Amino acid sequence: MLNRMQADLQAVCPELLAATYDAANLWFLRFLTFRDDLRQLARLRRATIQQIPGVGRKYSLCILEWQFKATFSSEVDYVGPMIVEDARRVLELLDRIHVLDAEMATLADQSEIASRLSTIQGFGKTTIAELAGEIGNQTRFTSEASLALYMGMSPLTHQSSSGSDPRRGHRRGQTLPFA
């Protein structure tokens, strides 16, 4: 969806996309959804622009600079509403992801496995919750080494007639011989 929105923006108003180069920026998505018609964005006043959440002085200057050279292709009549709708949907999905991350963090706080995983540096709450969910019950592993192998933190070596064949640990959907 985001890639399509960026492609549509490039076709309809490339200068607008050039103002950020990343259509996934929250301030940019909020700016795109501030009006139903993209052309109206080219006429917003500075004070109005600065009322958009996430658009401060720096980004308002980018927008004002874009407004000075804003042009739209003739496709804006039918592609513009799709761009705005895609931007709204991306914002909704980002909000939903934020809620799910918070729920996962809450569940991780209640998990013994997650509390043990939290002692490993570099793992955030979401990763810890995901790993705890995948691991399930630690009694299914015969040793710390088998758990490390499952998590992909230890190499697996298969001996063959042609020498060793190092392989990585668990990948989602892979059936493990010791699980």
Q: Is the pLDDT of residue 164 over 50?
A: no
Average pLDDT of the residues in 33-60? 93
Average pLDDT of the residues in 133-153? 80
Residue type, 5: M
Burial of 12 (0-12, 13-18, 19+ CB in 10 A): buried
Structural domain boundaries of the chain? 2-103, 111-156
What pLDDT sits at residue 67? 94
CA–CA distance, 78 with 13 (Å, rounded to integer): 13
